[in-house]
Structure 1
């Protein structure tokens, strides 16, 4: 059984039933269950998430992208600085970058002030952090491969690609 195909299917639909996944992979259900368990144990599959369109709820959610410049530490590089940052519950996603900035974060809060407070009181004071740039998300068009908006026809279908 090819891990890449199994993972690709599960990434698109984490709720797929094991019997359906087994049918697509043309493998016995028990083998698929064992493989998924193995991939979970190895932390290849790290979690299962629901993609929520917060714009369609009565909940105020502010999303911000934060770019960070940092000075790497001798013997540890960026890893210790990253560890101090990704442990904050506000941080949803964190990347090490090659380019103008060293890290990119995605964080969520209930207000712009809450995000600003996080940056000013928790992020900026970290030893090694030399600069932050915060950009607030105005509209979410696509999230984790899922189109979050409707077109003029009231649909959110993906474009059809033809050869």
Structure 2
């Protein structure tokens, strides 16, 4: 079902979701048709869940969203652990990501809002009011340096002096 070629294809697609089957085929020594078959199987088995782009919204003249990372301490419920409260949290449209963590907090929630006040309201009115939630700590993202392996830095200009014979 899932072999070494599947892993190779996934690694390539994860780095560049727009790469075409012909290029992948050359990289993994398969035909484009075989690559398409692998990808279809990976999609059908929910291994590949979606394709997305990493966008530097700071470069555009639009209202930037406010992103917050919220550490959440939870009282797990008998028989379901953290899954039940996690499901309640990830169903909120403001929640962009949710992770079960080890350490001082149980869940890490990534939330996006239009303003800091909107995000704070989400935490105080919706997240903190869930029965199993014991405490939250909110961290607002100030600047993105790297996201999903992509560095958000302008390429530096080559300052070397051109030498000609």
* Residue 64 of structure 1, CA deviation: 0.6
Q: Which residue of 2 aligns with 1:16?
A: 19
Q: How does 1:130-141 map to 2 (within 5 A)?
A: 130-141=134-145
Aligned twin of 1:35: 38
- Superposition TM-score, scaled by structure 1 size: 0.90
3-state secondary structure, aligned to 1:107: strand
SS of equivalent to 1:77: coil
Q: Any gaps of 5 or more consecutive residues in structure 1?
A: 156-163
Aligned counterparts of 1:54 and 1:67: Cα–Cα separation in 2: 25
SS at match of 1:2: helix
Given candidates 48, 64, 71, the residue that maps to 2:68 is: 64
Residue of 2, 6, 11 corresponding to 2:5: 2
Q: 1:11-39 CA distances to partner (integer Å, 9 max, x unpaired)? A: 00000011111111110111110110100
Deviation at 1:67, TM superposition (A): 0.4
RMSD: 1.3
> Which residue of the other structure, out of 63, 82, 91, is the alignment partner of 1:78?
82
SS in structure 1 of the partner of residue 64 of structure 2: coil
Deviations 1:65-119 (A, max 9, x none): 0000000001100000000001111111110011000000111111101101111
Q: Give distance in 2, aligned partners of 1:154 and 1:142.
A: 20
Q: Report whether the alignment pairs 1:101 with 2:117.
A: no
CA distance, structure 2, for counterparts of residue 11 and residue 154 of structure 1: 29
Give the number of the structure whose alpha-carbon radius of gyration is greater: 2
For structure 2, the 5+ residue unaligned runs are 159-165
| CA distance in structure 1 between the partners assigned to 2:141 and 2:128 by the alignment | 20
Q: What's the secondary structure of 1:131's corresponding residue?
A: strand
Q: How many pairs were matched up?
A: 154
Q: Which runs of 4+ in 1 moved over 4 A?
A: none
